[in-house]
Amino acid sequence: MEDTVRGTRAPAAVADDATLLARMQAGDDDAFEACVRAYSGQLLAVARRILSHEEDARDAVQDAFLSAFKGIGRFDGLSRISTWLHRIVVNAALSRLRTRRRRPETSIEDLLPHFAEGEHQIDPPAPWKATSVAILQEQEARDMVRGCINRLPETYRIVLVLRDIEGLSTEETAQLLDTTLGVVKTRLHRARQALRSFLDPYFREGEA
Amino acid sequence: MNCREFTEFLHEYLFGNLPAAERAEFDKHLAECPWCVAYLDSYRKTIQLEQAAFATAEDAPPPVDAPEELIQAILQARARSS
């Protein structure tokens, strides 16, 4: 599953990646400013999805731009600037997250399915409304789903955000989190199951 | 196959990572178990919901600009480091 909402839509002000890159590599101050103005909004949105504190998100964006500009000479321009910056800000945000993550996590076990002796779920799943996804056009519903994602234990939330929302591959996610493909796959599945449990009361048929 | 096994590996089933023989086992279980049909559907919708909650609609305005103070902080930090 490689769906992505990654920032591939370049702002109108920066129509030509190659020219902007060449100017930045030549040390043109105006080009650096144009790059910051064009992409900082997108990068801030990415950092906010990973970090819950606004100050941390802004710091991560600043870290990302400084890191990108420091390495501008090594960027070959084969990918879009937005894609390159996306990867860098994810890295910067994860670094911030690691320094923040000190409190113990809650267990995810209670949010996963439990089975009776006959191997059926103790709380049998009920069908969800056919209109479940359509109601996301309402801001209130979007906020509710985002709120449920934020309630996930951090270890699981971050995998879900990187894979399902930022559109990174399993390999990229494992590399960024310094873990194995198997761990990423398992955590992603558990995170989706737990999120499903949070969403179930809102979307099961017969509920208001 | 039972519900526990189906639930444990349904992501492999959903994203087509299973050999044909194992896939057939999942299909057979689904044909017999309305609870797992409901669970699979809600799992799929969960993924759609999380993505829709963050996706930008086609007709939505461009992403909000970053605050000017952040832009200035970045430009000043770059000036100091270069």
Q: Residue B64: pLDDT band by 50, 70, 90 thresholds?
A: low
Closest by CA to A110, choosing from A182, A193, A203, is A193
Question: A109-203 in CATH: which number?
Answer: 1.10.10.10
B53–A142: do the CB atoms touch at under 8 Å? yes
Strand partners of residue A128: A204
A40–B2: do the CB atoms touch at under 8 Å? no
Residues of B in contact with A204 (CB under 8 A): 42
On whether any CB of chain B is under 8 Å from the CB of A199, the answer is yes
Please name the residues between 73 and 112 in chain A that touch chain B, using a CB distance below 8 Å.
none
Residue of A nearest to B78 (CA): A66
Domain residue spans of chain B: 1-58
Residue A115 backbone phi and psi in degrees, to 5: -120, 145
Closest by CA to A40, choosing from B6, B70, B39, B42, is B70
A195–B50: do the CB atoms touch at under 8 Å? yes
Q: Any idea which fold A17-100 has?
A: Rna Polymerase Sigma Factor; Chain: A (1.10.1740)
pTM of the model: 0.84
Q: What is the DSSP letter of A78?
A: S
A121–B51: do the CB atoms touch at under 8 Å? no
pLDDT of A6: 47
B66–A41: do the CB atoms touch at under 8 Å? yes
Q: Which two tokens stand for residue B82?
A: 């270069």
Asked if A124 contacts A116 with a C-beta cutoff of 8 angstroms, the reply is: no
pLDDT of A104: 72
- The C-alpha of A74 sits at a distance from chain B's nearest C-alpha, in angstroms, of 16
On whether any CB of chain A is under 8 Å from the CB of B73, the answer is yes
The mean of the pLDDT values for chain B is 87
Going from the C-alpha of A173 to that of each of A6, A38, A160, the distances in angstroms are 14, 26, 10
B75–A127: do the CB atoms touch at under 8 Å? no
B51–A164: do the CB atoms touch at under 8 Å? yes
On whether any CB of chain A is under 8 Å from the CB of B38, the answer is yes
Domain residue spans of chain A: 17-100, 109-203
Instruction: Show pLDDT as tens, one digit a residue, over chain A (208 residues).
Output: 433 444 444 444 455 889 999 999 999 999 999 999 999 999 999 999 999 889 999 999 999 999 999 999 999 989 999 999 999 999 999 999 988 766 677 889 999 999 987 688 888 899 998 877 888 778 888 889 999 999 999 999 999 999 999 999 999 999 999 999 999 999 999 999 999 999 999 999 876 5
Residue of B nearest to A195 (CA): B46
